[in-house]
Amino acid sequence: MSVPVLDVRGLAFAYPDGHQALFGVDLHVHRGERVALLGPNGAGKTTLVLQLNGILRAGAGSVAVSGLPVEDKNILEIRRRVGVVFQDPDDQLFMPTVRDDVAFGPRNLGLKGADLDRRVADALEQVGMNDFADRPPHHLSFGQRRRVAIATVLAMQPEILVMDEPSSNLDPASRREIAEIVRSLDVTMLMVTHDLPYAVELCERSVILSGGVIAADGATTDLLADAELMRTHRLELPFGYDLAGLGR
């Protein structure tokens, strides 16, 4: 089998106050997969995500991206390869215009001129925001800002896209538009979400992180149909949601 795009082995991490967040996580994501990372609040999902591009560093174990270890000498390349779209787009948008925000990362990689313009245009095209390139981000709706935040990451041409709660705080139309964007992207993806129907819709495979360890890893519909597993890890589908209607 090919080298995983994301290869996490025995990952453990404790914060300076002594709180142990991860207790030996093993996770392997291969090229082209879309994997949902599920789990209750406090499970360690955010801590795990911050390990993937070196914002936090493992206390034990290892993280590698396409065979490249997450360590100091590789950190710039790792952060190009692993693009993280945060839950709040305002954490990523800080420039005067949408175009400036999307250009920020590639410009810092040394792109300029026509190459930079093309990279920005391509990223905005992928999220349907080309017509807003000269608008200030703070003049956009929340859903539009989320799309621009995705574009800022796509402009770096990452090998793996990590999305933190991509459907949160969106109206139904914006939620559907983000789903359409996700389906259209030719990129490996790890999607952190509490929105279980979104996981079913977009990710064939899911991983449940609970208590700082991987509690389950398998087909999304199989995991969510396991009532005991769901109850144990405080996961609940919306009232009336029917997995059987999805062809199980």
What is the CATH number for 31?
A: 3.40.50.300
H/E stretch holding 153 reads helix 142-154
> Would you state the pLDDT for residue 2?
74
Task: Tell me the three state secondary structure of residue 190.
Answer: strand
> Total structural domains in the chain?
1
Is residue 19 assigned to a domain?
yes
pLDDT tens digits, 63-73: 999 999 999 99
Packed helices 98-108 and 142-154: angle between N→C axes, nearest 10 degrees: 20
pLDDT tens digits, 169-194: 999 999 999 999 999 999 999 999 99
> Would you state the pLDDT for residue 244?
64
Q: What are phi and psi of 39, to 5 degrees?
A: 155, 160
Distance CA 176, CA 190 (A): 18
Per-residue confidence band for 248, with pLDDT thresholds at 50, 70 and 90: very low
Mean confidence (pLDDT) of the chain = 93
Least Cα distance to 82 among 156, 151, 30, 25 occurs for: 156
Q: Decide: 152 and 74 in contact? Cβ < 8 Å.
A: no
In this predicted structure, the answer to whether residue 196 has a pLDDT above a threshold of 50 is yes
Task: Tell me the three state secondary structure of residue 168.
Answer: coil
Is residue 98 assigned to a domain?
yes
pLDDT tens digits, 102-152: 999 999 989 999 999 999 999 999 999 999 999 999 999 999 999 999 999
Is residue 75 assigned to a domain?
yes
Q: Which two tokens stand for residue 169?
A: 């705080």
| Whole-structure pTM value | 0.91
> Would you state the pLDDT for residue 9?
96
Domain span holding position 13: 6-237
Q: Which two tokens stand for residue 49?
A: 């995500």
Distance CA 142, CA 146 (A): 6
Is residue 72 assigned to a domain?
yes
> Would you state the pLDDT for residue 1?
56
Per-residue confidence band for 209, with pLDDT thresholds at 50, 70 and 90: very high
Is residue 31 assigned to a domain?
yes
> Would you state the pLDDT for residue 179?
96
Is residue 248 assigned to a domain?
no
CA 241 to chain centre: 25
> What's the start-to-end Cα distance of the chain, in Å?
28
Task: Tell me the three state secondary structure of residue 81.
Answer: helix
pLDDT tens digits, 27-79: 999 999 999 999 998 889 999 999 998 899 888 999 999 999 999 999 999 99
Is residue 157 assigned to a domain?
yes
Q: What angle do CA 121, 125, 128 make, to 5 degrees?
A: 135
Is residue 244 assigned to a domain?
no
In this predicted structure, the answer to whether residue 247 has a pLDDT above a threshold of 50 is no
> Would you state the pLDDT for residue 242?
75
pLDDT tens digits, 215-244: 999 999 999 999 999 999 999 998 878 776
Packed helices 113-126 and 98-108: angle between N→C axes, nearest 10 degrees: 120
